[in-house]
Amino acid sequence: MTLPGPLGTPSRPTAAAAAAVLALVLAVALLGAGLARTGTGELRMPAAGTTALLRSLLVAGLAVAVGELVGTRLAGPGPLPRGWAAPGALLAAASATGLLLLLAAVSGLSLPVVYGLREGRLLLVTANACALAAFCAASRRPTLAALPLAVAVVAEALRAHPETAGFGPGTGLTVVHLAAASLWTGGLLYVLRVLRLRGGGREVLLRYARTAAVAYAALAVTGTLSTLRRLPLETVLTSAYGRVLLVKLALFGGASLLALAARSRLRSGADARPPARVELGVLAVVVALSALLTVVPDPAWLLL
């Protein structure tokens, strides 16, 4: 039998599971684009692995910051874990800066020229908004981080799914999708940290479950609509985008079943943390797959 670690220190099985999830996320981000493109005839995207990894870190940082912002309200009275919102926002800011430098390196353009590009400007907005969010999160009024985090989400949505006429329906769907994913994933991480610190807390999990249900519904609706807009049905198996999306949908379904299992255990009075921890690990891989979808070729060209 393995004894749990000291308060706030992960036990050996937990640390091993976290390391395994991290390794899988790195593999998906760095190798996923090449594997998904095999046999499709699609062109290789420059620096696809590095771009996917940086965007995974960006989204993860946003999720940590957004999740803590919401999680502190769900936690109610009682001790709270050490804040990770400021480091999370700084991670997102550093990742956006990395993407900006990578864009300059891949394009062969100087930074002043890259700043003038649409993608460069949006990355600059994201980096500055996340840096401001980190400052707010570390201040005496951490709720002020909500506004710059919202700006970062909108900027990232505009950059990842550009519309021909500015803020179009596709961008709106992505804003809701990214915000809901950050709330579900980051909120679950924060709630699990609260439960570990307090040694339990059924009421906290119940409050989170209600909020996560809304986020889940938003994810399902926006994800379906975005897929119908971007992916022709005849290219589902013959494009890298379609293949990555199928894996993402399978894992999303797995995370949904784990969430239902946690809710079932919660209603019966059993410990809901074990399936919730696995759910968090699955969601981390889903984040990496979502980042991968933004760097694989657009499947629409296969129909030309």
Which range among 98-102, 137-141, 176-180, 269-273 shows the weakest confidence by mean pLDDT? 269-273
Q: Is residue 302 scored above 80 in pLDDT?
A: no
Residue type, position 113, single letter: V
Query: Region 253-257: what's the mean pLDDT?
Result: 95
Name the average pLDDT for the chain.
Answer: 88
Residue 194 domain-assigned (yes or no): yes
Residue 185 domain-assigned (yes or no): yes
* CB half-sphere exposure, 173, CA atoms < 13 A: 18
DSSP states of 188-235 as a string? HHHHHHHHHHHT--HHHHHHHHHHHHHHHHHHHHHHHHHHHHH--GGG
pLDDT in tens, 1-45: 333 444 444 556 678 888 999 999 999 999 999 999 888 888 888
DSSP label of 143:
G
Q: What percent of the chain has pLDDT over 90?
A: 65
Q: Is residue 275 scored above 90 in pLDDT?
A: yes
Say how far residue 275 (Cα) sits from the centre of its chain. 19
Q: Is residue 171 scored above 90 in pLDDT?
A: no
Residue 139 domain-assigned (yes or no): yes
The residues, ordered by sequence, that sit 6+ positions from 131 with a Cβ below 8 Å of its Cβ are: 89, 90, 93
DSSP label of 83:
P
For residue 100 the two structure tokens come to 């900006």
Residue 103 domain-assigned (yes or no): yes
Residue 234 domain-assigned (yes or no): yes
Distances (CA, A) of 34 to 31, 46, 113, 154, 231: 6, 11, 30, 29, 19
The residues, ordered by sequence, that sit 6+ positions from 28 with a Cβ below 8 Å of its Cβ are: 52, 285, 288, 289, 292
pLDDT in tens, 185-233: 999 999 999 999 988 778 899 999 999 999 999 999 998 888 888 787 8
SS3 content of the chain, % helix, strand, coil (to 5): 80, 0, 20
Q: Is residue 287 scored above 90 in pLDDT?
A: yes
Q: Is residue 263 scored above 60 in pLDDT?
A: yes
**Residue-range definition of the domain harbouring residue 212:** 19-27+46-297
Tell me the whole-structure pTM to 2 decimals: 0.90
224 with 172: CB under 8 angstroms? no
Q: What is the predicted pLDDT for the residue at 16?
A: 85
Q: Regarding predicted confidence, which is higher, 244 or 301?
A: 244
Domain count, the chain: 1
Residue 77 domain-assigned (yes or no): yes
Of 240, 226, 216, 256, the C-alpha closest to 289 is 240
Residue 7 domain-assigned (yes or no): no
Q: Is residue 122 scored above 90 in pLDDT?
A: yes
Query: Region 68-84: what's the mean pLDDT?
Result: 93
Q: What is the predicted pLDDT for the residue at 129?
A: 98
Residue 104 domain-assigned (yes or no): yes
Banded model confidence at residue 162, pLDDT cuts 50, 70, 90: low
